Structures are given as C-alpha cells and as structure tokens.
Amino acid sequence: MSTISYNKTVNMLVFLLPLMSLWITHAASTILILLCMLGIGVWLSREKRIFFTWSEKAVMVSFAAILGMGLLSVPLHWISADIYQSDFQYDHELKLLAFIPIYYLFVHTKIKSETFWYGLCAGAIFAGVWSCVLSYILGTSERIAGAYNPILVGDMAVAMGFAGLAGVQFFEKKHKATTLIPLVAVLMGMTAAFISATRAALMAAPLLLVVFWIQIGKHPKAWRLRSLVFGLIIIVALSGYYFSDSNIDKRVRTGLQTMAETLNGQPKNLEDATDFSTAAHFRLWKEAIGVIGEHPWIGVGDDGFGHIIREKSNTDPSIKPIMKYDSTHNMYLQFMVIHGIPGLPVILALYIFPLVYFINWIRRSDEVRDVAYAGVAVVLSYMQFSLTESIMGRSVPIALYVVLIAAAMSLCRKSGTKKSGAD
C-alpha cells in the first residue's frame, strides 16, 4: 500500500468511528482493531525511531496500567485466603492497551485536523438526526437505543457534540457558514440525549459549557458566541424536556424524588421506589462500598461482586432486584471492588494524565488550544459519565476514548513539531 493510500485509510477509519460506532454492532471494535493492526505494522516496518516526551509516555502508561492491574490481580487472588478468584478475559484491558500502537500510528501518518473535527461533528449530528427520525418519523415508542442501549447513545452523542463545539474557530476560519457545523453538532448531541432520555449525559452538559465558556474567552466576539451557544442549548433543553416524545421529564422528576427518598431512608424496598433505576443505583453503590470495606487491598476480582450479591440475597430478599446488574454502575467503585483501593488511582490516571497533557498544551500553544480543549471535553465527559456508569466496561466508549484521545494528542504534537521547526 502506498503512503498516500495508507494515510487515506487511517483518516477514513478515524472519521467513520464516531459516525458508525453507536449504530452498527461491532463497528467500534472492528475499527479499533484495524487501527491497532495498522499501528503495529507501522512500528514493525519503521525506518527511523520516533521519540516521545515524558508526558506522552505517562499517558501511554495510564492506558497500559489497566491491563497491568488485571494481570497482577490473578496471582494476588491465588495466594490470598479469600474464595474470590480473578478470572479476567482481558478484552477491555487489551482494547485500552491498543492506545499505544494507535497513537504511534497517528504520529507516523499525521492525522488531519479536518478528519478529527468533521468526524466528531458528523457523529453528533447523525446521532441527533437519526434519533429524531426513529422517534418522530418511524414512531419508535421506546427510548432510542442504537445498536446497544440508550445510555451509550446519549452519553457518546453529548461527548462528541461538545468536543466538536471546541472546533468552532477551526470552522470559522474555513468559512463563516461552516461555523454552523459545530453549533448544529452540539445541539444534535443534546437532542440525542433527550430523545434517548439519558440523564447522565444531560448532567454533564453544564460542566462542558463551562469549558467552552473559558475556551472562547480570547475570541474577538466571545460574548456574542457565548450568548448564541447558551441560548440555543437552553432552547433545545426546554424543548427536549417539555415537548419530546421521550420520558425524560418523568425520569428526571422521579429520579430526584427517589434520591430524596433514599437520602431520608425511604423506601426500604427497591420495588416500592418511585424510580427503580435510581434506587437500584444507590443500593448498588452502598453494597459496593461495603465490599470495598471488607476487601480493601486486592478486591474481589471481576466476578466477585455478583457472587457476593447472590449470596447476600439468600438472607436479605430486599437485595434481589439488583441481582440483574453485572456492575456497580460507577466506574470508580467498580475498579475498587475488582482491585481494591489501589484500583482507584489506576482508573483516575486513565483520565487525569490525558487531562494534564491537554491542559499543558493549552498553556503552551495558542495554535492547538482548540484541539486541546476538545481533548479536555472528552476526558471530563467520561469522568462524569463514570459516576453513574461503568463506562469503561463497554467496547464503544473504550474505542471512542482511545481513538479520540490519540488523535487529539497527535494533532497537538504535530503543531508543536511544526512550531519547533519554524523556530
């Protein structure tokens, strides 16, 4: 394959990932594996060595540490006195490890800025438009689920929409008319969240709006742009809440009511809760904290939590309704349940190291501020989604996180290299 064809293939795969991952089964994993294989091929056939900075190496280690923790967990459970043996399949851990060859690939092939920005916006716009088609034209009565479930549709659409919004100045330089593309992207991302009735995605929006508010501060028409974006999002939010055919208004109201009931100690029976999903989350978190307290150092492995819940249900019937859940629905608690307290810094590093990397680029170079802010938006959205979902236990979020972070980092590095060459 010629160099030109090689670069086109890589850029095409990066563009297609946001567009296809939510709607076509196994599309995300397939694209991730293809990019990983291309990266390994580039590394094996390299003609000269590529050097990485310590900050880049730190990010690589944070992705590899997830697999390292899983590998370490097996012998620790073998020699421990507990009955919980770790039986890892390493599927998701290996997908996170794919960040290293994929980042190497992107540095080698020079991902285009157009690929990154148009891919993000296309993914968010398609999610919103197709959700509207399914709900209002095809008459889908249930929550829009895509190829997997409604939560993934809402979460990923909002993450892509706000990351795409960070490119508003990139599109503005192309043509004033193209400035509409990132604006439509964030509005369609929010639309997908409302139609899929994904509360976690909507909860992330205020924080991501603050990030955009800070980013756009140096723009000559900052206040006009802020007013436009905030005004449009408020209109979409009010329309989605009061007039969409989804049950988002009911889910929000019953969720808040159940939260208040739970904090006041009522109801005792999960099935009597106003909103079962919210009550189940609280009970899962309570049980997870109990498991962490009893197994603080090495956790109970990947299957231990379910085993403990099933055992406890024999003496406590009130816990039976949450037996159908296979995770704690909180990524931070999930890692501590599996690996003990040492699992918390490992999962935090997966978010914090890339976040620090992008913040450093924001401070160092005006040329890559927008790309770095897109990276910040992706990381912060995942950090917030992880509060109510075991987000890194699913292939689609992993694939998007790996590829988007790698692409944003490579674009920052590309700009930095050009600047050094110019100096």
Rounded mean pLDDT, 327-334: 94
191-230 tens-digit pLDDT: 999 999 899 999 999 999 999 999 999 888 999 999 999 9
CA 176 to chain centre: 30
pLDDT tens, 243-261?
766 678 888 888 888 888 8
For residue 331, what are its two tokens?
């990524």
pLDDT-above-70 percentage for the chain = 93
Q: Which of 167, 128, 66, 68 is nearest to 398 (CA)?
A: 66
pLDDT at 88: 60
Q: What is the pLDDT of residues 273-330, one digit of tens each?
A: 888 888 899 999 999 999 999 999 988 888 889 889 988 888 888 888 888 887 899 9
Q: How confident is the model at residue 30 (pLDDT cuts 50, 70, 90)?
A: very high
Return the amino acid letter for 122: A
* Contacts by 253-260, CB closer than 8 A, 24 or more apart: 254/278, 255/199, 258/282
Evaluate if residue 154 carries a pLDDT over 50: yes
Note whether 120 and 18 are within 8 A (CB). yes
Q: What is the pLDDT at residue 423?
A: 37
Q: Is 422 a residue whose pLDDT tops 50?
A: no
Measured CA to CA, the distance from residue 56 to residue 409 in angstroms comes to 8
The larger pLDDT score, comparing residue 91 to residue 128, is at 128
- Count CB neighbours of 146 within 10 A: 24
Mean pLDDT of 356-362: 95
The pLDDT of residue 348 is 97
Give the confidence band of 87 by pLDDT, cuts at 50, 70, 90: low
Averaged pLDDT of the chain: 89
The band of 181, judged by pLDDT with boundaries at 50, 70 and 90, is very high
Percent of the chain with pLDDT over 90: 61
Q: How confident is the model at residue 85 (pLDDT cuts 50, 70, 90)?
A: low
Higher pLDDT, 23 or 5: 23
